[in-house]
Amino acid sequence: MPEFSAPQPPSPTADASAAVARQSLAEASIPLGPLDGRYRGVVDGLTEHLSEAALNRNRLHVEVEWFIHLTRHQVLPGLQPLTEEQERGLRAIVTEFGPDGIAELAEIERQTVHDVKAVEYYIGRRLGPLGLGHLTSLVHFACTSEDINNLSYAVGVRDAIAEVWLPAARAAVGTLRELAEEAAGIPMLSRTHGQPATPTTLGKEMAVFVHRLQRQLRRIEGQEFLGKINGATGTYAAHLAAAPDANWPEISRTFVEHLGLTWNPLTTQIESHDWQAELYADLARFNRILHGFCVDVWSYISIGYFAQIPVAGATGSSTMPHKVNPIRFENAESNLELSNALLDSLAATLVESRWQRDLTDSTSQRNIGVGLGHSVLALSNVTKGMKQLTVAEPVLAADLDTNWEVLGEAVQTVMRAQAIAGVSGMDDPYERLKELTRGRRVDGERMREFVQGLGLEPDAEARLVALTPASYIGLAEELARGNR
């Protein structure tokens, strides 16, 4: 037998080389996750709403608007409405928040070791030039951090759904709808339990998914985004201690609604996050329906019902030049699964909080953008993948023509109707068709011979003799075209 030497440990030079490589990657700030790296261009829109920087910008927005709200309504003794210039200056703190502001806020947080307190101090530094230095104490007045955070997340999630996720979802569903309409009349063999079954049309099967997805879209479009601002345990205790004559619930309600949110009147320290759980459950359900669509399309590609349009210069396989792989749908499947893993976790975690408050939601909510990001990436791949498909009508037609036995359902049903009408010789139609078709291949000639030997009334016999697998589609075409 040949002799093998024991493996040698890496040389010091190799160790040093690997260390240098690791150091160079770290210094280059290479993203850890694919959403911030490989796929950044697809999901970049979410950064505007659900990144850490976006969260801090929204915190600034909520704090500034609360400051303005309190002064406009002169909630506290001695407060006067601000000038238009002062209000513009305060709002400019939000609109001008960019790279320098992000760096400054991070530096403040390193000192405070508290993200919301850092936002308070960041705003306080900017009041002097606006002639508002004497009102530094009004920033974050009577607020707990969750008053700011729940509103900031609600604004961010609302805008991310409206401006990024929904447009991507509508675009994907739009490509499905186009196919449903174009293929409304293209006959296709059904497969129930994976076996040949009553024919349909390709467009009707696509329309089923369009109908299901549109229903979920309507639920998501009607989602409420709740918010609260009522203090450390939701009792307005500090508010009343400072200004007992103010109508704090009304002040809270009008402020939350001013932000474009729905007011939650009764909470603990945290807004209960039930609306988030509702939203994420609906998003996950949409994802699951779309996942089923991807599996079906992948399967239709595998049996040749769809041909994929090659992309110029693209490689399907590193070793098999003939291949055009359905990678768009495979990528979408995986990303929908990743999205749902996070959305399901968020929906389950966020509805619970120990007694009046714990911080499990703080870490969880920082992953909302990741959950939505994987869904947006999947939607992008579905949209692109659908545009690279063409229907292989000859393959669908050939499949139908080799499965005449699927007309057995039509024949036995007509026989039942004839029996009810009093035509003799129509006994045991199901058993007779089972004997003819079960486990056997039946061609057109054999099926017509069988029908002509049944003794049907002439019009019924003529209908069945004229029937083919390709024409046995019922109202499939009308159903597909009726889906809007």
Query: C-alpha 172: how far from its chain's center?
Result: 11
Whole-angstrom Cα distance, residue 446 to residue 411? 13
Catalytic status, residue 193: yes
Catalytic pick from 17, 24, 302, 317?
317
Closest by alpha carbon to 324, among 314, 332, 316?
Answer: 316
Catalytic status, residue 317: yes
Catalytic pick from 193, 318, 322, 424?
193
Whole-angstrom Cα distance, residue 5 to residue 194? 54
The DSSP call for residue 127 is S
Q: Which residue has the tokens 């002799």?
A: 3
- Dump strand ranges (E) for 306-449: 306-308, 389-391
Whole-angstrom Cα distance, residue 148 to residue 156? 12
| Kind and range of the H or E run holding 199 | strand 195-201
Pair 357, 270: CB distance under 8 Å: yes
448 burial (CB, 10 Å; 0-12 / 13-18 / 19+) is middle
Tokens read off for 375? 């869904």
Angle CA(468)–CA(386)–CA(221) in degrees, nearest 5? Answer: 105
Q: Which residues are catalytic?
A: 193, 317
